[in-house]
């Protein structure tokens, strides 16, 4: 590497012997110039470290290569994993992911949407908070930039969406539980932050009725994203009051189940499907920690890979051809039963 510091494209044009407009072309797409000049440029690049100024580039570009990614709660390993997947896919497309978390707070979500506008993203991948989301703001964003919703749909927007088939997933779980033991009662939050919970509850009810069984639902208080805490404290109450002492409990999501398992353990109730187990417990999501609960949690997994891959793919469809694949399509991927020791 040489000692001369190149501070702009003009200077790099001099040392590389390539004109600035051609360099500009190269940096926007290395394949758009002749092989021989590409080679020259890259040779010069080896000698004189230079990178175009991102702000100057994006100022004039019709479109930046930024892709906004908003998830509702990054401290949840579930979303952290999905975000990580999506980030990598976006990078592989030669774009620049900007990851933002709403931290479970609708105001933060709106803040994030505003931040995104500053960044003038080429497109955005948005997993909305759901029930609490500011639908008007989200709708505006969707019409402002090419956007794909994932994980949680806002149906009134009638916008491109890819996610998990909550109905089918709950269904196979109920089937499994009914087939292998006591039919499940259902444990959920009265006001779930995420509307997927509604789909899951309905699916539970339908499945139970299809089996000729009476649905039974515990709707507990709690509004935040502290699911483990809610599962733990409400679970303890229900066990104390003898509302739950045996049988099978199906939880809206793994995190509630994780909290409940802690409560059951603490109160001396053995969970599992073996002899001497009072309770069976099942979750939903295949949370990264569900393998390490005591006992390991039986759950339904999302098709993480298909969902993230398809979200990104559909976004780039939008970017390249706005008329392309039906932009209001909802695309769902089936869940997969993960049998472990808890049920």
Binding region for DNA (CB under 7 A): 7-10, 17-25, 27-28, 32-34, 36-37, 52-53, 56-57, 59-62
Q: Which residues 6+ apart lie within 8 Å of 150 measured at CB?
A: 82, 125, 126, 127, 161, 162, 163, 307, 308, 311
Q: Between 185 and 262, name the residue whose CB sits nearer to a copy of itself.
A: 262
Give 150 or 225: the residue with its C-beta nearer to a copy of itself. 225
Least gap, CB of 61 to DNA (angstroms): 5
Q: Which does 24 bind (CB under 5 to 8 A by kind): a copy of itself, DNA, none?
A: DNA
Residue with tokens 């104390």: 240
The site partner of 27 among DNA, a copy of itself, none (C-beta below 5 to 8 Å per kind) is: DNA
DSSP H/E element including 6: none
Kindly write down the DSSP assignment for every residue of 224-244, as one continuous string.
SS-HHHHHHHHHHHHHHTTS-
**Please, which residue, 208 or 343, has the CB nearer to a copy of itself?**
343
Q: How far is the CB of 313 from a copy of itself (least distance, A)?
A: 22
CA angle 317, 99, 162 (to 5 degrees): 40
In the complex, minimum distance from the CB of residue 57 to a copy of itself, in angstroms, rounded to a whole number: 8
CB within 8 A of 53, min separation 6: which ones?
8
Q: How does DSSP classify residue 271?
A: B
Bridge partners (DSSP) of residue 69 are 99, 125
**Residue 39 CB, nearest distance to DNA (Å)?**
10
| Closer residue to DNA (CB): 34 or 242 | 34
Which residues in the chain belong to E strands, given as ranges?
Answer: 66-71, 96-101, 123-126, 147-150, 161-164, 184-189, 217-220, 247-251, 279-282, 299-301, 330-333, 336-338
Query: Which of DNA, a copy of itself, none is residue 266 near (CB under 5 to 8 Å by kind)?
Result: a copy of itself
Residue 262 partner contact from a copy of itself, DNA, none using kind-dependent CB cut-offs of 5 to 8 Å: a copy of itself
Instruction: From the list DNA, a copy of itself, none, pick the one residue 74 interacts with, judged by a Cβ distance below 5 to 8 Å according to partner type.
Output: a copy of itself
81 binds, among DNA, a copy of itself, none (CB under 5 to 8 A by kind): a copy of itself
Least distance (Å) between residue 198 CB and a copy of itself: 26
Smallest distance from DNA to CB 87, Å: 23
Interface ranges with a copy of itself (CB under 8 A)? 51, 53-56, 58-59, 74-77, 80-81, 83-84, 96, 98-99, 101, 103, 115, 117-120, 228-229, 232, 258-259, 261-262, 265-266, 288-289, 291-296, 341
β-partners of residue 188 are 219
Number of Cβ within 10 Å of residue 126's Cβ equals 31
What are the structure tokens assigned to 188, written together?
A: 């959920």
Residue 20 near which of DNA, a copy of itself, none (CB within 5-8 Å, type-dependent):
DNA
Rounded distance, CA 194 to CA 197, Å? 6
CB closer to a copy of itself out of 122 and 262:
262
Q: Which does 144 bind (CB under 5 to 8 A by kind): a copy of itself, DNA, none?
A: none
Nearest distance from C-beta of residue 117 to DNA, angstroms = 12
Residue nearer to DNA on the CB measure, 44 or 249: 44
Of the pair 25, 48, the CB lying nearest DNA is at 25
Query: Residue written as tokens 């979303």?
Result: 79
Query: For residue 96, which of 55, 60, 65 has the smallest C-alpha distance?
Result: 65
Helices (H), 70-105: 77-92
């Amino acid at each position: 590497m040489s000692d001369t510091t190149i501070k702009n494209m003009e200077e790099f044009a001099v040392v590389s012997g390539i004109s600035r407009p051609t360099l500009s072309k190269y940096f926007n797409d290395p394949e758009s110039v002749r092989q021989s000049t590409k080679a020259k440029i890259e040779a010069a690049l080896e000698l004189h470290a230079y990178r175009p100024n991102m702000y100057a580039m994006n100022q004039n570009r019709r479109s930046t290569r930024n892709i906004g990614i908003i998830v509702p709660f990054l401290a949840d390993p579930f979303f952290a994993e999905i975000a990580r997947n999506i980030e990598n896919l976006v990078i592989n497309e030669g774009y620049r992911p900007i990851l933002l978390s709403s931290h479970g707070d609708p105001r933060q979500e709106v803040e994030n949407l505003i931040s995104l506008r500053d960044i003038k993203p080429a497109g955005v991948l948005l997993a909305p908070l759901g029930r609490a989301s500011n639908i008007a703001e989200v709708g505006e964003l969707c019409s402002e930039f090419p956007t794909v919703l994932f994980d949680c749909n806002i149906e009134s927007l009638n916008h491109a969406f890819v996610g998990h088939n909550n109905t089918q997933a709950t269904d196979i779980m109920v089937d499994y539980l009914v087939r292998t033991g006591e039919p499940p009662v259902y444990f959920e939050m009265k006001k779930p932050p995420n509307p997927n919970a509604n789909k899951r509850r309905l699916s539970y009810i339908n499945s139970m009725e299809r089996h000729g069984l009476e649905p039974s639902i515990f709707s507990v208080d709690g509004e935040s994203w502290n699911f483990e805490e809610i599962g733990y404290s409400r679970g303890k109450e229900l066990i104390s009051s003898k509302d739950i002492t045996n049988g099978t409990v199906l939880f809206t999501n793994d995190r509630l189940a994780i909290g409940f398992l802690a409560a059951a353990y603490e109160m001396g109730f053995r969970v599992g499907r073996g002899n001497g187990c009072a309770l069976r417990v099942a979750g939903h999501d295949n949370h990264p920690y569900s393998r390490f609960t005591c006992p390991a949690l039986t759950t339904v997994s999302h098709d993480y890979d298909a969902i993230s891959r398809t979200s990104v793919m559909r976004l780039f469809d939008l970017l390249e051809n706005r008329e392309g694949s039906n932009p209001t399509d909802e695309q769902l991927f089936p869940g997969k039963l993960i049998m472990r020791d808890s049920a």
